[in-house]
Amino acid sequence: MQTENINPTEGSAVAVATRAFLLENANVVGAYTVTCIGTDGKIKWEETFPNLVVNVGKADLLNKYFAGSSYTAAWYLGLVDGATSPTYNSADTMSSHAGWTENVGYSNATRPAAAFGAASATGGGANTAGTGTISTSATAFNINASGTIAGAFLVTNNTKSGTTGTLYSAGNFTTGNRTVLSGDTLNVTYTANC
Closest C-alpha among 89, 124, 117, 93 to residue 194? 124
Residue at 1 is within a domain: no
* pLDDT-above-90 percentage for the chain: 66
Identify which has the larger pLDDT, 23 or 179: 179
Residue at 15 is within a domain: no
CA distances from 157 to 28, 45, 67, 113 (A): 21, 28, 21, 9
Residue at 38 is within a domain: yes
Rounded to the nearest angstrom, the gap between the alpha carbon of residue 166 and the centroid of all alpha carbons in its chain is 14
The string of DSSP codes covering 11-77 is: ---------SS-------EEEEEEEEE-TTS-EEEEEEEE-EE-HHHHHHHHIIIII--S-----EE
Q: How confident is the model at residue 24 (pLDDT cuts 50, 70, 90)?
A: low
DSSP state of 136: B
The dihedrals phi and psi of 11, each to the nearest 5 degrees, come to -150, 155
Q: How confident is the model at residue 126 (pLDDT cuts 50, 70, 90)?
A: low
Letter for the amino acid at 167?
L
Residue 73 pLDDT: 79
pTM: 0.84
Residue at 26 is within a domain: no
Residue at 119 is within a domain: yes
**Per-residue pLDDT for 78 more than 70?**
yes
| Most confident of the ranges 16-20, 22-26, 87-91 | 87-91
Rounded to the nearest angstrom, the gap between the alpha carbon of residue 18 and the centroid of all alpha carbons in its chain is 35
CA distances from 93 to 99, 139, 157, 166, 170 (A): 11, 22, 12, 7, 10
Q: Domain of 68?
A: 33-193
**Each residue's pLDDT tens digit, 81-105:** 999 899 999 999 999 999 999 999 9
Rounded distance, CA 192 to CA 80, Å? Answer: 19
Rounded distance, CA 135 to CA 194, Å? Answer: 12
Count of structural domains, the chain: 1
Residue at 16 is within a domain: no
